[in-house]
Structure 1
Amino acid sequence: MKHYLSSGIAASLLLGSASFAFAASELTIESWRNDDLSIWQETILPAFMKAHPDIKIKFTPTAPVQYNAALNAKLEGGTAGDLITCRPFDGSLDLYSKGYLKNLQGMATLDNFPDSAKGAWSTDDGSATFCVPMAAVIHGFIYNKDAFAEIGVEPPKTQAEFMAVLDKIKEDGNYIPMAMGTLDQWESAAMGYQNIGPMYWKGEEGRKAIVAGTGKLTDEGWVKPFEVLASWGPYLGDGYEAQSYPDSQTLFTLGRAAIYPSGSWEIAGFNRDADFKLGAFRPPLPAEGDSCYISDHTDIGIGLNAASPNAEAAMKFLEWMGTKEFAELYSNAVPGFFSLSKHEISLSDPLADEFISWRKDCQSTNRSAAQIVSRGTPNLWNEMWVVSANVINGKQSPQDAANQLQKGLSSWYEPQMD
């Protein structure tokens, strides 16, 4: 802890002046969001420090791929920052189980978040919550408005309309209907299966049934989205099997593809790189009149290092994270990463505003393999990568893909064992 104090004040500290000890607090935030460094330095932290001039905060990110290892090393060595940016579910649960994160249960600010948000950073039984929810990303389809106008198509609302739009774009011949490859596999699961799937397995109802063992991954609601994915191949362009995630991003931002299956996390980059008007539409309903579900995935939170010498000041920041001020500030500063709080907020980015508007009509759910069911071997989430890509590539049938997922899960997860 650094002190910006005169020797006289330092002497009073030795006599136990709690007020001066608090005034000396300088906090450090650990994070993997190195691309957000300037936003935190120039927008978010100054807003907090203006209201709390006695607390100084530094945002010290690590590269995303290095974050987990670096953070664990710092925590083990006792050199980690006061505030820890938390990935959702099992990674942060492991940190809490090891005693590195403080139990925040009972904090008033947590009342400003729904249980679905707090669940990403709570123990399985809900007895402890160890990170304050910060933001979620929402899955959907981003499209080239200029291309749609040129071809004469409208954003589809149902699966039948979606296929008709893809057919018209392909028939026009000037655009690849959808920019997505299967080389890296994870896109097939994240941007494909998890994007459209909640509509079929009914969001949290279906996800929780798998966790409880009352539902199977071979049930109709889990096979149907694979059947939809099996139809995507002819619309992804030549050579999509060898197309990487960056390749797909480039195809879309260069205006060569009309639709990009993805989510709100792309907004800032696409706003920067695309020179055409952007729009977004929800995952299509299986049929007109069906209920709407969206993958509104808890992505990021912040917790308190249990060994922090500045816990009182750090708690001030965590309390602020539950306010409307923070929700609106963060959601506008980082378009596409939406506050998880219950506050009604206004967004200045029209594409971000479109994504978040879906919460009014649709039920939110997390990615189906994010909690509990990917703790064993084979890892369910990694298995979803493989089979989703195989289905799109025509190498595996939808039923076989579902059978493989169920067989793998039931081999180690007791609630799913026959």
Structure 2
Amino acid sequence: MKKTLGTALLAGTVLGGAAWAEDVTLTIESWRNDDITIWQETLIPAFEAANPGIKVAFSPSAPADYNAVLNSKLDAGSAGDLITCRPFDASLELYNKGQLADLTSLASMANFSDVAKSAWQTDDGAATFCVPMASVIHGFLYNADAFAELGIEPPTTEEEFFAVLDKIKEDGTYIPMAMGTQDQWEAATMGYQNIGPNYWKGEEGRKALIEGTQKLTDEPWVAPFVQLAKWKDYLGDGFEAQTYPDSQNLFTLGRAAIYPTGSWEIGVFNPQVSFTMGAFPPPVPKAGDECYISDHTDIALGMNAKTGHPEEAKKFLEWVGSPEFATLYANALPGFFSLNSTAVEMEDPLAKEFVSWREKCQPTIRSTYQILSRGTPNLENETWNASANVVRGAETPEDAAKRLQEGLASWYEPQKAQ
């Protein structure tokens, strides 16, 4: 009896040890710290249920710190197995340094178009190093109850936009628009990059800047700054010291009527607001103009080239590239629109509103993200500063554009001889 029991215990220990040895934990690095519950409660459980023996831990950093934290972890060899990828140059640099693995051969890459993959490829398109997850669309959220109360319709032109802001300001019940300049990136991302494509005509202007046939001092690139300079009168007292979370709170608490932003806020705001939200695309300069939207390839997932678990990491990435993941992700996180070629039926009405703009407006991506921020000064970061300065009135639109152009021309060859 004792011998049999001892043998059974020994066998159990060995088998238990073997089972334990087979369990692998993959860690995901990310800058998205606001969607941690979606990963923990929806996405990861779905994967783990179908893949026993592989555990996944979601380990985000603060958005503003992510690049620096990730780079130091990768350099130190302590980064997670899976790396959430920013689009274009930041991730391309990691791939060129040998820190992101080449994922071109993943079977699930067939589920993405060349456009979807372009944000995470080498310039020649030969290697793809992250699995595309989602794009986000820029626009304006508004308090539909406040608009109804004041008899206001969503504006479609720049003239209508400022007429709406004037009416809200005159009434005095609401701050017309919630945006601060303390964090700087807010003024650029929610301001300049939001309204700008209507002036520089989306991809036409963005590519002309890369080719060197347009300059940042040309009228289409100065015009968005001219509009931003007018926003100052509608942002409420103390906007200069207002942070991004402050702006979010002003809107979700019902104190501001309009919030310049993008679809990424839908999932964050839905459970917080007690009013009906609506959305409108960036108003066109004048009636009859073609509209453009920033439909920005935003987020993807890659593999740490030095992961100790490459096969398990690839298995997870194959799943991230699947229609199942696309449907789960797009509905768990409304406002992050799947880049998978398989159509995803969305449930959230506000997400449907944002994505409907693709049917009537020309899409583009943020102008600073591809190629133009590879040098020093970094055009993306300089645009943050310039946009905040223009909104505050610390720099004129023309001076801001001139400074950005001089910075770009100091290192970017196609702009040097202009």
Q: TM-score, normalised by structure 1?
A: 0.88
Q: How does 1:162-201 map to 2 (within 5 A)?
A: 162-201=161-200
Aligned partners of 2:414 and 2:274: how far apart in 1?
50
> Is the partner of 2:389 in helix, strand or coil?
helix
> Is the partner of 1:285 in helix, strand or coil?
coil
Q: By how many angstroms is 1:154 displaced?
A: 0.9
Higher alpha-carbon deviation: 353-362 or 131-140: 353-362
Verify the 8 A CA contact 2:196 2:221 in the aligned structure 1: yes
Verify the 8 A CA contact 2:34 2:268 in the aligned structure 1: no
Counterpart in the other structure of 1:414: 413
Counterpart in the other structure of 2:330: 331
Q: By how many angstroms is 1:250 displaced?
A: 2.3
Verify the 8 A CA contact 1:22 1:54 in the aligned structure 2: no
Counterpart in the other structure of 2:34: 35
Higher alpha-carbon deviation: 198-207 or 233-242: 233-242
Q: By how many angstroms is 1:416 displaced?
A: 0.4
Higher alpha-carbon deviation: 51-60 or 126-135: 51-60
Counterpart in the other structure of 1:321: 320
> In 2 relative to 1, CA 362–111 (structure 1 residues): closer, same or farther, beyond 3 Å?
farther
Aligned partners of 2:249 and 2:15: how far apart in 1?
60
Q: How does 1:17-416 map to 2 (within 5 A)?
A: 25-416=24-415
For structure 2, the residue ranges without an aligned partner over 5 or more in a row are 1-11
- AA matched with 1:294: I
- AA matched with 1:386: N
Q: Deviations over 1:368-388 (max 9, x none)?
A: 111221222222122222322
> Is the partner of 1:273 in helix, strand or coil?
coil
Higher alpha-carbon deviation: 361-370 or 307-316: 307-316
Q: By how many angstroms is 1:124 displaced?
A: 2.3
Aligned partners of 1:410 and 1:382: how far apart in 2?
15
Counterpart in the other structure of 1:16: none
Aligned partners of 1:22 and 1:205: how far apart in 2?
55
> Is the partner of 2:402 in helix, strand or coil?
helix
Aligned pair count reads 406
Q: Deviations over 1:254-297 (max 9, x none)?
A: 22221111112222332233221111111112223322221122
Aligned partners of 1:387 and 1:222: how far apart in 2?
12
Verify the 8 A CA contact 2:102 2:129 in the aligned structure 1: yes
Q: By how many angstroms is 1:69 displaced?
A: 4.2
Please give the root-mean-square deviation of Cα atoms over the aligned residues, in Å: 2.6
Aligned partners of 2:193 and 2:46: how far apart in 1?
36
> Is the partner of 2:35 in helix, strand or coil?
helix
Verify the 8 A CA contact 1:22 1:312 in the aligned structure 2: no
Aligned partners of 1:338 and 1:6: how far apart in 2?
47
> In 2 relative to 1, CA 238–9 (structure 1 residues): closer, same or farther, beyond 3 Å?
closer
> Is the partner of 2:199 in helix, strand or coil?
helix
Aligned partners of 2:250 and 2:33: how far apart in 1?
25
Aligned partners of 1:73 and 1:389: how far apart in 2?
29
For structure 1, the residue ranges without an aligned partner over 5 or more in a row are 12-19
> In 2 relative to 1, CA 112–261 (structure 1 residues): closer, same or farther, beyond 3 Å?
same
Q: Deviations over 1:90-118 (max 9, x none)?
A: 22222211212111124332232233332
Verify the 8 A CA contact 1:296 1:364 in the aligned structure 2: yes
